[in-house]
């Protein structure tokens, strides 16, 4: 089992020292827990891929304190600065050309780097103390549901890592939005997440499109610019129990009788949620922020509860509903 640190001054000092020595530390962010290593040290970053069982073609996000630190690793342009000024620290990751400071293993050989300044106060304190950019993917074994509590991290990686910094449950609960801003005239969302599409369009003052993954993608599939994008890995965030997204099963009649062995998950609490077993909801009122915050925890709980099948209602396609639906789609891909 990994040692859990609460984030005292001496904890932060010790953990930044471990990071400088090339070790891994699981860290809290406002989105999900990350598995961090010194992004400037290729050997340290190799340990991330090893601990997660992550294929080396899937690049890492680099976490920094803010725009000044970002400039050392990425070629920031006007759009990048505008987005960073508005959304950092926060759940937005920018794809930009990388500088030579970033080793190839971090970007899986791509000429671009993913960069974000996270908002969690303990993660910020750690970034400041160690004075390094930190590469950190979500702190889960590759392909499984992302962790939003220390218990989730301990469960998935506790026997493969030594240190976990405890920042409490994650406030947002789904990963950052990833936006490719290399072409200022044509910004593209690669993964919907904690920052809403609408908010990005508002700040950039232009339409922002979503990257469309290829119909039947393989891990090696390439997007038109010859670079693997996150959406290409279809099966992702998956519980072990089969999960389906079935809008037609959420009419009131269907909710009065859920077959044995099935968990049926609504976005909001259904009106006459009879105490019938097998019905769950992500939010009392259908609040999408609350639903996103609970999504991964509930997936894990239901996965552990021994149901034969988990059925989800899709979220309304707006704000964090898009991130929820994206994670559900990937969790249901077999």
DSSP state of 39: T
187 binds ligand TXA (CB under 6 A): no
Segment 8 to 27, residues that bind ligand TXA, using CB under 6 A: none
138 binds Mg ion (CB under 5 A): yes
Least distance from C-beta 10 to Mg ion, angstroms? 30
Q: 176, 155 in Cβ contact below 8 A?
A: no
- Tell me the per-residue interface mask from 110 to 139 with ligand TXA, x by CB under 6 A, - otherwise: x-xxx---x-----------------xxx-
Give the nearer residue to ligand TXA in terms of CB position, either 19 or 266: 19
- Tell me the per-residue interface mask from 211 to 230 with Mg ion, x by CB under 5 A, - otherwise: --------------------
∠ Cα 243 246 251 (to 5°): 135
Distance CA(34)–CA(36), nearest Å, equals 6
Q: How does DSSP assign 269-295, residue by residue?
A: --TT--S-TTEEEEESS--HHHHHHHH
Residue range at the interface with ligand TXA (CB under 6 A); choices 67-75, 224-232, 294-302, 305-313: 224-232
**Binding partner of 58, given Mg ion, ligand TXA, none, CB within 5-8 angstroms per partner class:** ligand TXA
> Cβ of 256: how many Cβ atoms within 10 Å?
13
Least distance from C-beta 264 to Mg ion, angstroms? 26
149 binds Mg ion (CB under 5 A): no
Distance CA(81)–CA(294), nearest Å, equals 31
Is the dihedral angle over the CA atoms 240, 242, 248, 253 positive or is it negative?
negative
Least distance from C-beta 138 to Mg ion, angstroms? 3
From 58, 155, 201, 287, residue interacting with ligand TXA (rule: CB under 6 A): 58
| Torsion on CA atoms 318, 320, 323, 324, rounded to nearest 10 | -100
Both tokens of residue 292? 């996103």
Chain residues binding ligand TXA by CB under 6 A are 29, 31-32, 34, 58-61, 91, 93, 95, 107, 110, 112-114, 118, 136-138, 175-176, 178, 190, 227, 229-230
């Amino acid at each position: 089992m990994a040692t859990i640190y609460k984030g005292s001054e001496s904890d932060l000092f010790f953990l930044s020292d471990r990071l400088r020595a090339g070790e891994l530390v699981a860290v809290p962010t406002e989105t999900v827990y990350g598995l961090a290593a010194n992004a400037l040290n290729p050997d340290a970053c190799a340990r991330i891929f090893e601990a997660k069982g992550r294929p080396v073609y899937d690049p890492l996000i680099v976490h920094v304190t803010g725009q000044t630190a970002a400039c050392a690793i990425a070629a920031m342009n006007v759009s990048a600065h505008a987005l960073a000024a508005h959304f950092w620290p926060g759940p937005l990751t920018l794809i930009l050309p990388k500088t030579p400071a970033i080793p190839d293993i971090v970007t899986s050989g791509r000429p671009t780097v993913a960069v974000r300044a996270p908002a969690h106060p303990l993660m910020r304190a750690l970034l400041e103390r160690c004075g390094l950019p930190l590469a950190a993917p979500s702190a889960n074994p590759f392909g499984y549901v992302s962790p939003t509590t220390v218990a989730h991290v301990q469960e998935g990686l506790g026997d493969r890592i030594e240190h976990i910094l405890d920042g409490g449950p994650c406030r947002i609960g789904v990963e950052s939005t990833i936006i490719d801003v290399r072409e200022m005239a044509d910004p593209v969302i690669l993964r919907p997440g904690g920052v809403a599409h609408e908010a990005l369009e508002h700040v950039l003052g232009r339409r922002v499109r979503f990257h469309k993954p290829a119909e039947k993608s393989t891990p090696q599939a390439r997007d038109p610019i010859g670079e693997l994008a996150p959406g290409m890995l279809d099966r992702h965030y998956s519980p072990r129990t089969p999960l389906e997204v079935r809008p037609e099963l959420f009419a009131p009649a269907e909710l009065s009788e859920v077959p044995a062995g099935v968990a049926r998950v609504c976005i909001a609490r259904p009106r006459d949620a009879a105490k019938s077993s097998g019905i769950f909801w992500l939010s009392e009122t259908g609040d999408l922020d609350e639903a996103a915050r609970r999504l991964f925890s509930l997936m894990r709980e239901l996965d552990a509860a021994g149901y034969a099948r988990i059925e989800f209602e899709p979220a309304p396609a707006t704000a964090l509903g898009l991130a929820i639906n994206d994670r559900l789609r990937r969790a249901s891909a077999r």
